[in-house]
Chain A
Amino acid sequence: MLEIKNLSKSFQELKVIDHLSLTVYEKEIVVIIGPSGCGKSTMLNIISGLLRDYQGMIKKDVEKIGYVFQEDRILPWLSVYDNIRIVKAEDDRKTIEKLIKKVGLAGFENYYPDCLSGGMRQRCAIARALYYGSSLLLMDEPFKSLDYGLRKEMLLLLENIWQTEENTIIFVTHDIDEAIAIGHRILVLSNRPARVIKELYINRSLENRNCDGGEMLKMKNEIISLIA
């Protein structure tokens, strides 16, 4: 679905990404983890087409890419319903209502963002990205500003969405627990300039991933040693 070869990006003198290569297959959740400021968001911005000035090759098999940002970026002057509706020219009320229900915002369609909680705003952003109708979803630390309980709730929601919608998801985070909880494959990036230093596969089902012991704890410790 997505192939990146020898991707490099610099901001003036500062090299942010250095010969990064990766492949993302259909219907998988790839988590990209790395230290803060290592170039994870830059990589997503390049994949999405927001940043165009880079070296290397990117091959995409998708027309549209859905994006859930670190900050929700929902428009404060539009209701929840309208924030979702505007990403498509046509107003498909049935689909929007279905998505609103799916992300747990039923009853809040006409509500404005200034009175929604952080979690609700992020749910709205997820519904918007899903309504856009892309099979590839980029998520840039979407639950970073949420507390522990909400974050757990949002991960369950994401898991539920993936099981029903079967999107391909590239999920960027610096939280190891979050990475282990949601990813089928974890790519560990080095400090800036970013390169893939380790690729880890998780074969367990999403419900069976407790970091408190065994294999998962070993994986967690390995990631800590790599990015520390």
Chain B
Amino acid sequence: MWEEVLKTVMRLLTGLGMGLLIGAVIGIVSGFLRPFEEIARPILGIIQVVPPISWLILAIIWFGFNGAVSIFIVIMSVIPTIAICMADGIHQIDKNFCDMGKLFNFSRWYQFRYIILPSIGPFIMSGFKIALGNAWKTVVMGEVLTTSSGIGGQITQARLNIETETVIAWTVIVVVLYYCSVTAFSLAGKLKKRRQDAGNKKFVKVVSGTQGH
């Protein structure tokens, strides 16, 4: 069982990683270069609107019946979400902070590290959460229709043997895995928040200590 789960997870991570990378590049360039965005937006819209099943059939023609199809449809579902969220995030960066960075002679790295990245962070997080849900759906769908391995392959086997309870069990596993991945992803954000809260508690202690004397 775990072997099949691992196969699906690997396909998902590969698709997600590549989709994130391509989507991030398109999003960043679109955010900073208006002419590029004017070309990219309609293309991203088309990618979003084309049904996953159409991508799937095209991928079967291009790659044949194997795991590559699942990876491909994950990539296509992730790219527009990430690209649009990142471009919108870049448009929302507070110009005052950019001016501050210019005035204090921030290097390009400092501008990116301390102004751009934290400003678009919430947009990336939202985009990633949406992309992650879509990716789980599409990767299993791709496996069901193109391969006998992975969770999707197991669902196909169960369907052929008319094992309803197995289909439901695998579906539950997919849902649980989705929640595990979202939780793992949110953990970093929560740790950061906890660190900030720890600073706040320290502050409250200092203030109440002062008042007590």
Please report A residues at the B interface, Cβ cutoff 8 Å. 48-50, 64-65, 67, 69, 71, 73, 75, 77-79, 86-87, 89, 107-108, 110-112, 115, 128, 132
Contacts and interface: CB of A to CB of B under 8 A. Distances in A.
B196 interface: yes
Given A48-B103, A64-B105, A73-B96, A86 B110 contact: yes
15 contacts: A48-B103, A50-B103, A69-B96, A71-B96, A75-B97, A75-B114, A78-B114, A86-B106, A108-B206, A110-B199, A110-B202, A111-B200, A112-B200, A115-B200, A115-B203
Contacts of B105: 64
B200 A132 contact: no
Given A50-B99, A69-B96, A87-B104, A75 B202 contact: no
Interface string B180-213: 0000000000000000100110110010000000
B100 interface: yes
Nearest to B203: A111
Nearest to A77: B118
Nearest to B197: A112
A158 to B, nearest CB: 19
A132 B106 CA distance: 11
A48 B100 CA distance: 11
User: Nearest 4 pairs between A and B by C-beta?
Assistant: A87-B104, A77-B118, A110-B199, A73-B100
B102 A112 contact: no
Contact of A50 (B102, B115, B202, B206): B102
B112 to A, nearest CB: 12
A191 B106 CA distance: 35
Nearest to B99: A50
A77 B121 CA distance: 11
Interface of B: 96-97, 99-100, 102-107, 110, 114-115, 118, 121, 196, 199-200, 202-203, 206
Contacts of B107: 89
A147 to B, nearest CB: 19
A78 B115 CA distance: 10
A196 B203 CA distance: 46
A227 B100 CA distance: 30
Contacts of B110: 86
Chain B interface mostly: helix
A132 B203 contact: no
B199 A111 contact: yes
A71 B102 CA distance: 16
Interface centre among B96, B100, B202 (most CB of A within 10 A): B100
B104 A107 contact: no
A134 to B, nearest CB: 10
A107 B206 contact: yes
Given A78-B114, A86-B110, A132 B104 contact: yes
A77 B193 CA distance: 10
Contacts of B102: 49-50
A75 B118 contact: yes
A61 B198 CA distance: 45
Given A75-B118, A107-B206, A108-B203, 15 more contacts: A49-B102, A50-B103, A67-B103, A67-B104, A73-B96, A75-B97, A77-B118, A78-B114, A86-B106, A87-B104, A87-B106, A89-B107, A111-B200, A111-B202, A112-B199
Nearest to A64: B105
Contacts of B202: 110-111
Contacts of B199: 79, 110-112
A112 to B, nearest CB: 5
A73 to B, nearest CB: 5
Contacts of A69: 96, 100
B192 to A, nearest CB: 9
